[in-house]
Structure 1
Amino acid sequence: MKVLDLDAVRAFVLVADLCSFTRAADALDTTQSAVSLKLKRLEGHLGKQLLERTPRVVRLSVDGKAFLSAARDLLNAHERALGSLSVERRRLSLGLSEHVAGPELPQLLARLNAHDPGLVVELHLGTSAALLAHFDERRLDAVIVRYGADEPPRDDAQVLFSEPLEWLATPAWLPRVGEPL
């Protein structure tokens, strides 16, 4: 029976997710060469090439695609096993703007719970302005909100993504001259 090195499997999943040995090394707080060595050993142990590497691109091979889901399941099972013994419960009070909450929220929360069963997420949905006020009052640990480009920048914020503002109309619509939209 082959026993897998969990650190190597974790490195493989990160390289697959981030499409980069360097970014995976940063996430693991190690060097790119250490990640490369772990992957080389994992591939040798499995007898399969999991990644296709070129100087500019890293992508999953056919075997890598087949292994990725099972690798994630293995890491999640490992975290659940360790978490089942943990008596320490930690709380994260998270504010989430109604504008950024999407249909993938339940799956994201399930993945977070599988990754860290000891973390209890207390989720607060609301408007961006109300959640920022609660954050400033230290009633929330973190918030994910919509923040306008015309608003002054915050030192305690990090942009997660930008969305362009667009006007949409039916193909037959024409603006009326002299009238506001």
Structure 2
Amino acid sequence: MTSTINYYFGSQILSLNTGIVLNNEMDDFSVPSSNTNFTSVPPPAPNNFISPSKRPMSSMTPTIVLKDGELKAVVGASGGVMIPAATIQVVLNHFALQLDPFSSVFAPRVYHKLIPNVVQYENWTTVSGDHIELPASTREELKQRGHVLQGLTSGGAISQFIVHNFGELTAVSDPRKGGLPAGF
């Protein structure tokens, strides 16, 4: 399960009753801006401005995959605006490309935030020393289609993936952050 708390340790407040770290979800609201130069970031969204009884929009994309009413997989990620792209790439890697669960999570990813009009591709080394990089042939194909590319040397989204197959669960934590699956 991935839970949004924003920043390291969210609001940095621990509930004494529950032991739960409280989130800093207020950061996901938009605020009016006097800046009119939105060439590198989208303008603030008025529908997401702070007001009473409102929840901020979020990139959270927890996904449950069913087939014929049976659980096939659960996937989620952390990483802000990159979460939806990472989540769908893991699902497509496994179900469309037939990669095993670990390879589905470990495969290099691409991200596009709309503004700026740049495709970011992974080109970095994980905390455990594994190098992740989009293949040169894929980068060349994207360039031929007119995309502007930028290597992403850190960051991206971190995925967690659980696959249910023939009564067995396989859990994978993204090696980009050095996590390990744990369950009981």
TM-score by length of 2: 0.22
The structure that is helix-richer by fraction is 1
TM-score by length of 1: 0.22
Larger Rg: 1
Structure number with the higher strand fraction is 2
